Amino acid sequence: MDPTVLGGRLASALVAPLLKKLFRSEGPGAGLVDKPVRLCALVSFRGEKRTLSEQDVRKLAEWLVAQAVESPGEPPFPPDEQIAVTDTLARRLLALGDLDMDDVQAVRLGHRELARKLHYAAPAPDGLSADSCHFLDHTTDWACLNILEFFTRRSTFVARTLVEQARAQAELIAKVDELITRTPRPDARDTAFERRYLPFVAECHNHITIYGIDLRDSPDRWPLEVAYLTLEATTDREPDRAAEPGEGPPARTGRMPADETLDKDPRVLLRGDAGSGKTTLVQWLAVSAARKGLYIPYVLPLRTLIRTGPLPAPAAFLSAVGCPLSPPDGWTERVLTAGRALVLVDGLDEIPAADRHGTRDWLRALIHAYPGNRWLLTTRPTAVRADWLSQEGFRELSLAPMGRAEVTTFVHRWHEAARAPEYEQRLLDSLRTKRDLARLATNPLMCGLICALHRERRGYLPTGRKELYDAALSMLLSRRDLERGMGAAEGPELGEAAQLELLQRLAYALVLSGRNEMTLTTAERIVESALPTLAPAAGKQDASDILRVLLLRSGVLRRPAEDVMDFVHRTFQDYLGARYAVEEGHLDVLTGHADDTQWEDVIRMAVAHARPHERVSVLKELLAGDTPRLTLLALACLEHATALAPAVRMEVEGRAAALIPPRTTGAARELAEAGPLVLELLPGPEGLTDEEALGVTVTASVLGSEEPDGALAVLRRFRDHPDHDVRRQLAGTWHRFGAEEYAVEVLDHLDRSDLFLTCEAPAQVAALARMRPWPDLAFEGPHSAEDIVAAVPEPGTVTTLGILRNPRLTELGALRRFTSLNQLTIFECPDATGLERMRPLPLTELVILSSVADLTGLRALPSLTLLSVVQELPGAGLTDALPTEAPLGFLFLGRHSTDTTGLRGLAHWDRLHTLSLGPLTTELTAADWREVAELPGLTSLYLNASIIRDLPASIGCMPELPGVEVLRIRSMDGTEHLAPLASRLPGLHTVILGNRPGHFFPLSDFQPLFPDADLALDPD
């Protein structure tokens, strides 16, 4: 405890009178003789004439300690040691009675020496913390100062000899008080330095830089806090791979947010491929720690440390990395000793292998000397073996490739940081529809490269994307390490051209084998066979050493398993394999595999590398296949053909124009059979007719199950299209995509006019709650009425509701919260009851297309104008079952509806204008038809052909109905049964006929039966 803090906590003016109680106000002979009196005679808790007990002294010590603890600011010592501190202070005060000196001697001795004697008389107990001992010593020192001041003020003190001493003592007290207020605590300098160091770290590392590309109009640094996104780390030893087109997503087991790994394991060895975000994660952890202030971050890039000589001791951490701030002596050691450090050691792979063992020894020494801190070490996967630091308690994790959601987030934040939002959506669409780009953008480095080049070219990626791949390879193979200040690679030195030669041979071997991986033994043989063709310096190297350098430093190859090698991106394999095929004149090999979809990107890249006459040969071979897919592949190749004979280009475009855009639904479905390649060729919506726009959306919808990202990017472009058929297609294909994403990207932007939205899966129901209100909804599947209502955030906006194939639907009363509901359809909900509970709703249309548990509630619905039922109605007549108060205008009675009621009572609904009779199981009688004839406003009669065909007596009983003007007949399978019907409807002017499935009869066959009516086919 420092005197400054103690003096701030205990003011002399308040405490001095309390300390005065330790001594008697008078003593025998104390004022009568000229000889000083012994201290043991002055104290008030000794001798016969006590005024203060030992318990009182302890209370005084308790008060002093309590005042120090309760004062504002940091506690002077740990709370659990307060009793021990109090006991020790009391014993020291009681020791005053045992000192063999007088008051004059005490004054001459001085307060510090007096305090030392009390310290030896009553030392602090073992186990007391350093802060508590510090507090006790300074409290004793300070109390002795006030005691001596008390002695000098006693009236019995020998004033003649002590006047000057008293003046000096008063001056001393004043100086000590001033010193107390000015002298900082021992650790105050540490705190002051940390107030400067932490903001420096946060500012120094709060940026992202892409090395190895040339940007004219774009910044090369972006704020880290804006562009950073949380990556995932996996506990699997083998790094995850990105899913190939058509495959499901890779397993995501043992994953966690990478920036939370140190919260669970204080020691982590993090592996990741080139550009996977290791250094960016180190920066983020440093910035986060600096801002929170819980840990002191030390960012230690090994490539920097290794150049300065031996790896630094803690005292040299800051100077070794070029930090301009000078810490107090011993500061880093004190931070590490207290367990407050976050040590971030970056780039184990960036130092020679010979230095890595020394690095491990350095880390071991630090960890053993300073336990309790947090440690992170990063490296590329192949730099050190598995379990390299397991004995030191390090957990090994690998950074996982970015998924689609992470890529989208990265692109958004990158453009936000670069202040270029106008380019964001165009790039996202390209990443979704162009599969080779999507394969490339699986880590922050490649995403950042694509974003930067896209912005540099004002929203366009390099033509044919060859320039993009060239830039990426140049960055990874040479420029990035050079511009980051790394020295020469360990082992054989290979230039960019030599690396490309070896890599393209490896890639072509993989392409020919139809695989994405090869054994290291096979790769060494390929490298060895290529060495004689390289420059002499490289050609004399050992193949295994060269392959090891490529795996470690190229950033293009990786080792996913112990004896396996592959390319970090399939795009690089296809690009480099095509490059080698063109150099070796193997274009016929490529076109010979054109029917294999796995060769599509290789062929397209070959066109990019080929000379003009070679491109003509490739494109003609594709057109000669004369299939839609090969024609479209040729069209896709044009993007990569910078120079091409005009006649060939026109032929390709002309052949493809017959396929794209599709002009009918059938053509759209046939086009989708060409595969995901189609998605990046689909146009629109600008310049398309409504029919063509519908065809494009149908094609993309069909491909949604196979390539959801690309299909979604196409459909998203049509979300503002006004055509009803296009909007209906967009709403109806929801089930092929992720519910939440499709809702956000497409559905929530659609014009809702005359548009139904159907929710089936729980994810769709959940997404519905986050969209703008949909007035027309349908729920299919097992959802209770309460769940349906809860899924709609604004129930009062729903006007039309369909509930389909729902075995969980029972009591309908919960639907009353849809206060604006006027149309309700129920299909295959066998346990539905409680129709009478719907009475308060403005329900005008009720369609029940299958049997429900209870129809008795129908009579309670007075506002219905349209009603459809198919099951047997209760009662003896229709007025017993249907709502007599309802102004019905349309009534459909299905298969069993009239089994017991017939049409008795139908004439009650004199507003009925349309009567529809489904396939009935009982004959209609003459009495039934009289009910129909008595309807004054009946103008339309809809019949299922089974009534005419299977119930001839029903038609025989039909009277003449001159008021019927529209006749609609479904499921026709001939003309032979219609003659009796035609004669009974003399007023017909419109006849709508629907053929039975599997049968087709031209309208001309029916025209003689209805010579005065217009005939039409039923559109349904």
Mean pLDDT taken over the chain? 81
pLDDT of 218 reads: 55
pLDDT at site 59: 73
> 571 vs 521, 576, 655, CA distance in Å?
23, 9, 28
**Which secondary-structure segment (H or E) carries 845?**
strand 845-848
pTM of the model: 0.64
| Alpha-helix runs per DSSP H in 841-940 | 878-881, 926-933
- pLDDT tens figures, 972-1007: 766 667 778 888 999 999 999 887 766 677 787 788
Starting at the earlier edge strand, list the strands of the sheet with 1014-1017: 757-759, 776-780, 800-804, 823-827, 845-848, 866-869, 890-893, 914-917, 940-944, 966-972, 990-995, 1014-1017
Q: Is the separation of the CB atoms in 4 and 182 below 8 Å? A: yes
pLDDT for 98-117, tens place per residue? 666 665 566 677 778 777 87
Q: Is the pLDDT of residue 29 over 50?
A: no
pLDDT, tens digit (0-9, with 9 covering 90-100), for 540-556: 578 888 888 888 777 77
In this prediction, residues 273-288 reach a mean pLDDT of 81
pLDDT for res 1010 = 86
Tokens of 441: 């953008």
Is the pLDDT score of 474 beyond 50? yes
pLDDT of residue 408: 84
Look at residue 953 in the predicted model and tell me its pLDDT.
84
Tokens of 689: 């007719």
Q: What is the mean pLDDT of residues 41-55?
A: 57
Residue 722: which pLDDT band, with cuts at 50, 70 and 90?
Answer: very high
Q: What is the distance between the alpha carbons of residues 134 and 85, in angstroms, rounded to a whole number?
A: 10
Q: Which amino acid is at 568?
A: V
Lowest mean pLDDT: which of 350-359, 508-517, 690-699?
350-359
Please, are residues 518 and 562 in contact by the beta-carbon 8 Å criterion? no
Give the C-alpha separation, 941 to 954, whole Å: 14
Q: Averaging pLDDT over each range in 76-80, 450-454, 725-729, which range is the top one?
A: 725-729
Residue 251 clears pLDDT 70, i.e. is over it: no
Query: What pLDDT was estimated at residue 373?
Result: 93
Phi-psi region of 463 (alpha: psi -120 to 50; beta: other; left: phi over 0): beta
Q: Is the pLDDT of residue 892 over 90?
A: yes
What pLDDT shows up at residue 799? Answer: 96
Query: What is the mean predicted confidence (pLDDT) over 528-534?
Result: 84
Please give the residue that has the higher pLDDT: either 462 or 372. 372
pLDDT for position 178:
66
CA-CA distance, 962 to 983, in Å (whole number)?
10
Q: Which residues make beta-bridge pairs with 969?
A: 943, 993
Average pLDDT of the residues in 301-320:
85
Which pLDDT value is given to residue 34?
Answer: 43
Pairwise pLDDT comparison (320 vs 404), residue with the higher score: 320
Strands of the 341-346 sheet, one edge to the other: 255-257, 232-234, 395-399, 267-271, 374-379, 341-346, 296-301
Give me the percent of the chain exceeding a pLDDT of 70. 81
Task: Count the neighbouring beta carbons within 10 Å of the beta carbon of residue 249.
Answer: 10
Residue 636 binned pLDDT confidence (cut-offs 50, 70, 90): confident
pLDDT for 162-185, tens place per residue? 455 556 666 777 766 665 555 555
Q: Highest mean pLDDT: which of 217-226, 240-249, 747-756?
A: 747-756
**Which of 205-209, 492-496, 849-853 is the most confident on average?**
849-853
- Is pLDDT at 67 greater than 70 in this prediction? yes
